[in-house]
Chain A
Amino acid sequence: MFTKINDMVSGFVSILKGLAVTGKNMFRKPVTIQYPFEKPAMTARFRGLVDLYPEKCIACSQCVKICPTAALALETTTNPQTKKRAAAVFTYNGELCCFCGLCQEVCPTAAMYMNKCYEVAYYAHDDLTKIDLLKADKYAHLAPPKVKEQKT
């Protein structure tokens, strides 16, 4: 009998303690953000989709060699006068990409980098599988509608 009452009292106290923890959280600042309307700022090292400064690229194809999932494909041409190699076709398959960042690390001229784009929803496979890295507005079709940015 005594142990039963004891159990009831200690159980009641422990539940009150738990409720106090929950109650404390009512007065804390919310940690969530209203995502589609507010967006967190991406960090400096954030690894989004692979991007390229075509004028910096020397077509050394080190990024193609290191890519673990073969997401990059490069065809080169050589200028007959200057004997310099240049990228003729440079395609990136965003569906194969595992966002490891090895390509931007091996790039000797820092031509390859990863942008801050993380919203990669698309309507057709070709929108993401056949991205021409030499084009200037390669991700224009993936860009989401503009909403206000929020710092966290």
Chain B
Amino acid sequence: MDFEELIINMGPQHPSTHGVLFLQLKLDGEVVVDCQPHIGYLHRSIEKIAENRTLVQFVPFTDRLDYIASMNNNVGFCLAAEKLLGISAPPRAQYLRVIVAELNRVASHLLAIGTFAQDLGAYATPLFYALRDREKVVQIFDQLCGQRLTYDYVRVGGVSGDLPPGVDQLIRDFIAYERRMLAEYHDLLTGNVIFCARSRNIGVLSKEAAVNYGVTGTNLRASGVAWDVRKDEPYLVYDKFDFKVITGQKGDSWDRYDVRMREIEESLKIIEQALGGLPEGDPVAKVNKVFRLTGETYMRTENPRGELGFYLVGDGGPLPYRLKIRAPSFSNLSVLPYLVRGLNISDTVCVLGSLDIVMGEIDR
């Protein structure tokens, strides 16, 4: 009998591709021989739009890059803009930025864990629990800035508003609540034999391969490389807080899940410390300023998905000459063909879910 390789299209509209990602799989029976991701379905030319907007006007667009972690994008872009202009935000604004960035990291990791469990066949239950907890963060942000998804809270030179009364207590309640819930997640997923069997030793990413492919963030740390921009190149006030860089051992899908779970705890610790040491003062930025942009700068921050970089060039006018965005998901997706060769189709879904990509920032 004659066996042929079969090419199937997975996506662009597929429940497990986390957005409009189109994977072309070359199959030998059930085994994936080759995988080619096709991207660009969500392209909105945000980098080009940046050339026609002032820095203040561009901040709402950064919400639309990685829409799961908009706050972290706001922070990254505003830090790049401030670095180019040579200004810095007031101390209270810096603390507030840390708090919102870490809250959003918790929300993002929760969603990543929930969708990962759903990709493995734990139909809806863990995802709904994760969404329930994420909702608490979203409601805090709703009180803080008035939106639930596209926050536009962080501004060049500060933030858009101080903490409203009662919100700091809400955040403290959330920290206590989330610590209780994490124990439940561990009962539900970490100890589950089926979950372990499906994710252990699947998609093993070695240290060298991870570095060579430019993988960053939780995926890199799961492979055992202790690289965290918050620790190794501290921005904002991260050097004042006590937190650990979580690393995995093997770099398989299970490690990537585990690193995210433990990073939530570290983020909660950072939020607690930042709330405790919140300095007095006015964090609100004056928005209506026309800046003259000269020179060039590159600023990288730690997104929930990895290293988010903004390369900003000015030519003396109020508009940037060029903005290049280094999206962490793009590099994290590029390692997928390397990981899935020789795996089954169902394991491809597992690896893709564990990489935690967001198409919004890959296509930009």
Q: Which A residues have a C-beta under 8 Å from some C-beta of B?
A: 7, 10-11, 14-15, 17-18, 20-22, 24-25, 31, 43-47, 62, 66-68, 98-102, 105-106, 114
Contacts and interface: CB of A to CB of B under 8 A. Distances in A.
Nearest to B53: A68
B142 A15 contact: no
Interface stretch (B107-115, B186-194, B226-234, B319-327): B186-194
B82 interface: no
B142 A46 contact: yes
A99 B125 CA distance: 33
A68 B164 contact: no
Given A7-B193, A21-B184, A31-B132, A47 B147 contact: yes
| Nearest 5 A/B pairs, CB to CB | A45-B146, A100-B60, A11-B193, A68-B57, A47-B146
A43 B187 CA distance: 35
Interface in B54-77: 56-61
A98 B125 CA distance: 33
B340 to A, nearest CB: 27
B193 A68 contact: no
Given A18-B188, A62-B288, A44 B193 contact: no
A98 B58 CA distance: 11
Interface of B: 53, 56-61, 125, 129, 132, 135, 142-147, 150, 152, 160-161, 164, 184, 187-189, 191-194, 287-288
B56 A66 contact: yes
Residue of B57, B125, B135, B189 with highest tally of chain A CB at under 10 A = B57
B207 to A, nearest CB: 30
A98 B70 CA distance: 14
Contacts of B287: 66, 102, 105-106
A7 B194 CA distance: 11
Label chain A's interface by main secondary structure. Answer: helix
Contacts of B152: 100-102
Given A22-B125, A68-B61, A98-B60, A14 B193 contact: yes
Nearest to B61: A68
A15 B192 contact: yes
Given A7-B193, A101-B160, A43 B188 contact: no
Contacts of A22: 125, 188
Contact of A11 (B135, B187, B194): B194
Contacts of A101: 145-146, 152, 160
B188 A45 contact: no
Contact of B187 (A7, A21, A31): A21
Contacts of B192: 14-15, 17-18
A15 B146 contact: no
Contacts of A99: 147, 150
